[in-house]
Amino acid sequence: MFRIKNKIAIIYLLFSVFYLPSSNVSAQKLKTLIESGDQAFSDNDFFGASLYYNQAILRDSTDMSIQYKYAEASRLNYDYDIADKWYSIVYKADAGGKLYPECVFWIASIKKSKGKYKEAKTLFDKYAKKNKKKKDDYFVKKALQEVAACDYAQLLVASPDKSITIIHLDSSVNSKVSEYAPIQMDSLLYFSSLRNTSDRDKKHNVNFNKIYTAVQDSVKWQKAKELDTLFNKEGLHNANTAFNANFTKLYITRCEQKNALDFICEIYFSEFKKGHWKSLQKLPSEINETGYTNTQPAVGFLSDEEVLFFASNRPGGIGKMDIWYSKINPNGSYGKAVNAGKKVNSIDDEITPFYCKSCQELFFSSTWHKGLGGFDIFKSDYKNNELGEPKNLGVPINSNYNDIYFSINSTKTEAFFSSNRAGSFFEEKESCCNDIYMFKIPQPVDTTKHTPPKKPEPVDSTQIFVTQMKLLVPLTLYFHNDEPDKKTLAITTKKNYKKTYEDYSALHELYKKEYSKGAKGKDIERAQNDIDVLFEDSVDAGMHELDEFAALLLKVLKDSEKVSITMKGYCSPLASTKYNVNLAKRRMSSLRNYFMEYQNGVFGPYVNNQNPNEGSITFIYEDIGELKARPEVSDNYYDTKNSIYNPVAAFERKIQIIAISTFSSQKE
């Protein structure tokens, strides 16, 4: 939507590249580029803004404010690689977020959008801890939610629903611009698209959305056709088709564009009488509250009462866009809109409702509830006169991209949704545009044959815990120089890893002081920030993950799992090979001690337990790995700044749990 309308901006930028007659003029051009970028950004024209900021960076690549603006515009324009690059540059130069505290939050968000959940979790956790005093701040709440979401996302990815095969509809339906809001009645698929170039919003230079239909025959989809002007009014966006149960009433949304991104939308309806559809009429104020967006209608039934679900940002909601519903009275009037409640709605966006009457479930998409990416699709059961806690539809329905507009066809055989996931068609950049996807719905058992229904298989919580453990591997733990037990060739220690961690953590300020010695100005701040990153993202994070791993290990052992834990030690090349090998063995010994002393020795009975019906732990030690010296790391014992306190040197002093394997005990 944002590509075509920026041709003027592109022409201006090309012109500005070739005409730079003097340094004064160049400075003026830079100022003009930034102002133009700021104006485009304020209009939510992120594509145009990113072009201006890109040209500004070509003139001055050191200005942190331009770098951040370019990162922001690129993120909002779905150019995640560019955004990640410039956010990272800003974050490092900004000494951990003094001028731009949300920088690390956005880096984490991009990592999550790329499916890098472990990295994203670490960064979200870092942001939340650093800003914990702002407990009511949106970003802090969101970061805490995303920490849990990243854990959950890894579980979903590790256990996809193999009974579902996602089908990407071909070019008869999808194009290189966005297609969305699919709803199938019999063999006819209704959907919305920006493909019509003849009806355009000249002010914002975008195509107006139109509603299309495509027929599904036994072989393939027929080429989509645009509906007539009864449904597709020129000069407005037309989208989001919905029908009542007996196909006698149709609802759509019509929107006026406020700027490059935002709309004011209202819901219309038409009735099928005497063999044809009547002219569309706007729904009353119970639905269309003036001055706010009311969109994405869907008919449902709550306690046998027909209701109209829709999404709106009207006052009285819980967050941004919320899901609401209004009773459809027998006389055709509508009741006062009711918020779908705090279990469904959140402080973020909930959109694209769809209600399945036969299964009594509300489907919708959300950016808040724990999921894999931006928008995930969820369902909420309607029981005891209320909508319950949302359940993520999982993989492969959801992805680390945006998944929206879920619907089930009228015969309950196929489901459809829209997504900008990898593989969607695009012109200029991947993930810019939504396509329509579908999958076959497994059919229920025919009860007329008196076949007893299969009982649902119980959820194996132990395997969930095992999966969570495996997702923590490789688990890396770090040590201070020559710890535990300095200046010895012993291969074991009495120290517990947690004690070595606590002693190491207490040296945080000393590391900052020693590593910043000799630095001047901003280099002091950068050096100290590098140490903060070392401790927060690696040393502290490793201890946190070890505690998490141990808690999960105890759960699976209690359920009689046999667990093998493989460790490997590493060391820097500061001392002799023999000394380093023994040091690495002491470090692995400290980790074994951690397990043996955990919760007053709760793991002790499980170590090498031979009882076939009980859980057991077996420790396996891999060969010791001595890391090769890196240019940044000194092997000079007296150069402590670079041989000990340099973060690169610190990263070499580690051990890892590199693998775990499990199998269940055979119970009689």
Query: Residue 366 has which token pair?
Result: 């959300």
User: Residue 324's pLDDT is what?
Assistant: 98
CA–CA separation, 284 and 261 (whole Å): 26
Single-letter code of the amino acid located at 368: W
Assign a CATH topology to domain 4-158. Answer: 1.25.40
Q: Which range has the worst mean pLDDT, 195-204, 286-295, 569-578, 655-664?
A: 569-578
Q: Is the pLDDT of residue 291 over 90?
A: yes
What residue segments make up the domains of the chain, in order of their start?
4-158, 167-444, 462-664
54: left (phi over 0), alpha (psi -120 to 50) or beta: alpha
CB atoms within 10 A of CB 558: 14
Least confident stretch, 267-271, 300-304, 435-439, 507-511: 300-304
pLDDT band at 630 (very low <50, low <70, confident <90, very high): low
Could you tell me where the beta strands, DSSP code E, fall in 314-468? 322-327, 338-339, 350-356, 361-366, 376-383, 386-387, 391-392, 403-408, 414-419, 435-440
| Closest by CA position to 110, among listed 135, 77, 136, 138 | 77
pLDDT for position 448: 54
Instruction: Using the predicted structure, report yes or no on whether residue 663 has a pLDDT greater than 90.
Output: no
What whole-number distance in Å separates Cα of residue 20 and Cα of residue 12?
A: 13
- Banded model confidence at residue 443, pLDDT cuts 50, 70, 90: confident
Whole-angstrom distance, CA of residue 309 vs CA of residue 387? 13
How much is the pTM?
0.84
**Residue-wise pLDDT tens digits, 50-84:** 999 999 999 998 999 999 999 999 999 889 999 99
pLDDT for residue 78: 87
Across the chain, mean pLDDT equals 89
For residues 388-392, give the mean pLDDT: 96
Q: Residue 528 above 60 pLDDT?
A: yes
Q: Specify the residue for token string 């005990």.
A: 665
Q: pLDDT band at 17, cuts 50/70/90?
A: very low
Q: What is the mean pLDDT of residues 245-265?
A: 90
Complete DSSP assignment for 581-615: HHHHHHHHHHHHHHHHHGGGTTTGGGBT---TTS-
Nearest to 417 by CA among 195, 117, 174, 216: 174
- pLDDT value, residue 135: 81
**pLDDT at residue 595 tops 80:** yes
Q: Are the C-beta atoms of 569 and 619 separated by less than 8 Å?
A: no
- Whether CATH 2.115.10.20 fits 167-444: yes
Q: How do residues 215-245 score in pLDDT, each as one tens digit?
A: 988 778 999 999 999 999 999 999 999 999 8
Distances (CA, A) of 466 to 94, 602, 619, 666, 667: 40, 19, 17, 17, 19
40 has a pLDDT exceeding 90: yes
Alpha-carbon distance 101 to 480, whole Å?
30
Taking the C-alpha atoms of residue 214 and residue 15, their distance in angstroms, rounded to an integer, is 44
